[in-house]
């Protein structure tokens, strides 16, 4: 810590003491901290729109609360599930992040032929089996192994009930019905989707007593994004709202057509110097760069709407329109 004192002479005014406290250790650490740049492939952008990301976060948070409640009732131990984040990456990158041996629950998305993956660490799945069979839930230090037939049935039944809550969590977003299909253990040999395809990965943290673990849920991005993008362009207004909009639009069009506007006819504008304007006198001639054969411009609000030629209508000058400009009016 370092302090700085600034004193004003007492002969002038009463002494005032200013103290500035600076945390040199924290400022030094802040200067030394530098974020590592992340690789980004502009040929295959994997950026999730902010509005879509927030919608997905709310849905997955709802699922996490439901999942924690279900695990608490099935395992008879307090379980808390929280969402760590949602990101969009390629399937190949997702697989590379997983351990070499883990419990990968392959699920089918009923609305499409896509495959979702719920990944659970191997030691966590064995811990759940211990709880379900009435054990104390002790973490055993043993090599990762595949589940037996009985253990697979117990895990499948437990996760089937949990994944059913996805339909409730995403009811306001997209229809989503995910069902357990099979269980695999080596991510490198599981080709759920093409390697370069974009997937959405939700990461959860599960707290079971004194044990903490991280699980992931992978869904193909098109499964969630395609219905949302299609819905953004759909008109969800009722028949009464559509009729009201059409009536209001017709009223505006009729009103606009009766608004008076100033119309002028001009030649091609000429640029001259200020000194020429100041010394203008009666009888002087200004040469215009407007050929006799060129039509005049019909202008509304400094915008050329048509072109015409000079003429007369009885004893009054007139402009006959010979060409209308094709632009937005």
Q: What is the pLDDT of residues 217-237, one digit of tens each?
A: 999 988 888 777 665 555 566
Residue 145 has pLDDT above 50, yes or no: yes
What does the pLDDT read at residue 245?
Answer: 86
Question: What is the total count of domains within the chain?
Answer: 3
Quick one: pLDDT band at residue 321, thresholds 50, 70, 90? confident
Find out whether 202 and 119 touch, Cβ atoms under 8 Å: no
What does the pLDDT read at residue 24?
Answer: 47
What does the pLDDT read at residue 234?
Answer: 52
Residue 76 has pLDDT above 80, yes or no: yes
Report yes or no on 295 lying in a domain. Answer: yes
Nearest to 160 by CA among 137, 177, 184: 177
Name the range with the highest mean pLDDT among 11-20, 131-140, 248-257. 248-257
Residue 256 has pLDDT above 60, yes or no: yes
Q: Are residues 159 and 64 in the same domain?
A: yes
Residue 154 has pLDDT above 70, yes or no: yes
3-state secondary structure at position 129: helix
Lowest pLDDT segment from 25-29, 175-179, 234-238, 250-254: 25-29
Residue with tokens 């699980």: 215
Compute the chain's Rg from CA coordinates: 37
Over residues 203-212, the pLDDT tens digits come to 999 998 788 8
What does the pLDDT read at residue 65?
Answer: 93
Say which CATH number the domain at 132 has. Answer: 3.40.1550.10
- Reading the block at residue 208, the tokens are 């079971």
Quick one: pLDDT band at residue 26, thresholds 50, 70, 90? very low
Per-residue pLDDT, averaged over 75-94, amounts to 92
Distance CA 231, CA 250 (A): 27
Q: Are residues 57 and 201 in the same domain?
A: yes
Q: Are residues 18 and 76 in the same domain?
A: no
Report yes or no on 286 lying in a domain. Answer: yes
Quick one: pLDDT band at residue 152, thresholds 50, 70, 90? very high
Per-residue pLDDT, averaged over 108-113, amounts to 83
Say which CATH number the domain at 294 has. Answer: 2.30.330.10
Residue 20 has pLDDT above 50, yes or no: no
What does the pLDDT read at residue 1?
Answer: 47
Give how far the C-alpha of residue 280 lies from the chain's centroid of Cα atoms, to the nearest Å.
Answer: 63
Report yes or no on 251 lying in a domain. Answer: no
Strand partners, 82: 205
Q: Are residues 20 and 68 in the same domain?
A: no
Per-residue pLDDT, averaged over 180-199, amounts to 90
DSSP state of 154: H
What does the pLDDT read at residue 25?
Answer: 44
What does the pLDDT read at residue 261?
Answer: 86
Lowest pLDDT segment from 18-32, 45-59, 72-86: 18-32
Q: Are residues 115 and 171 in the same domain?
A: yes
Q: Are residues 83 and 146 in the same domain?
A: yes
Structural domain that includes position 7: 2-26
Q: Are residues 211 and 68 in the same domain?
A: yes
Lowest pLDDT segment from 114-123, 196-205, 216-225, 294-303: 294-303
Residue with tokens 């409730």: 168
Report yes or no on 255 lying in a domain. Answer: no
3-state secondary structure at position 248: helix
Residue 120 has pLDDT above 50, yes or no: yes
- This prediction has a pTM of 0.59
What distances in angstroms separate CA 39 from CA 36, 46, 221, one per listed residue?
10, 11, 20
- Reading the block at residue 2, the tokens are 């370092």
- Sign, CA dihedral 288-291-292-297, equals negative
Distance CA 117, CA 190 (A): 10
Per-residue pLDDT, averaged over 63-67, amounts to 93
What does the pLDDT read at residue 327?
Answer: 57
Q: Are residues 76 and 222 in the same domain?
A: yes
Question: Mean pLDDT over all residues of the chain?
Answer: 81
Q: Are residues 92 and 20 in the same domain?
A: no
């Amino acid at each position: 810590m370092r302090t700085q004192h600034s004193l004003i002479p007492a002969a002038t005014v009463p002494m005032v003491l200013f103290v500035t406290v600076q945390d040199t250790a924290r400022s030094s650490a802040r200067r030394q901290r530098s974020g590592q740049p992340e690789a980004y492939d502009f040929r295959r952008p994997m950026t999730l729109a902010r509005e879509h990301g927030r919608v997905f976060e709310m849905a997955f948070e709802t699922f996490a609360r439901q999942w924690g409640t279900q695990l608490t009732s099935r395992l008879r131990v307090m379980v808390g599930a929280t969402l760590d984040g949602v990101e969009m990456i390629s399937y190949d990158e997702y697989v590379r992040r997983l351990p070499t041996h883990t419990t990968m629950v392959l699920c089918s998305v009923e609305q499409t032929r896509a495959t979702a993956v719920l990944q659970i660490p191997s030691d966590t799945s064995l811990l759940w089996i211990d709880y379900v069979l009435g054990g104390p839930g002790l973490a055993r230090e043993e090599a990762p192994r595949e589940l037996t037939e009985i253990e697979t049935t117990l895990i499948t039944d437990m996760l089937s009930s949990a994944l059913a809550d996805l339909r409730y969590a995403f009811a306001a977003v997209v229809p989503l019905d995910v069902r357990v299909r099979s269980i695999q253990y080596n991510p490198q040999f599981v080709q759920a989707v093409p390697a370069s395809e974009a997937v959405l990965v939700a990461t959860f943290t599960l707290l079971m007593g004194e044990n903490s673990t991280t699980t992931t849920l992978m869904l193909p991005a098109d499964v969630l994004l395609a219905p949302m993008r299609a819905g953004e362009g759909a008109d969800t207004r009722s028949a009464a709202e559509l009729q009201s909009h059409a009536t209001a639009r017709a009223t505006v069009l009729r009103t606009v057509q009766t608004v008076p506007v100033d119309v002028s006819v001009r030649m091609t504008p000429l640029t001259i110097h200020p000194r020429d304007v100041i010394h203008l006198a009666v009888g002087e001639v200004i040469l215009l760069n407007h050929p006799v054969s060129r039509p005049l411009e019909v202008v509304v609000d400094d915008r050329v709407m048509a072109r015409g030629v000079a003429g007369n209508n009885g004893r009054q000058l007139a402009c006959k329109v010979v060409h209308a400009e094709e632009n937005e009016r």
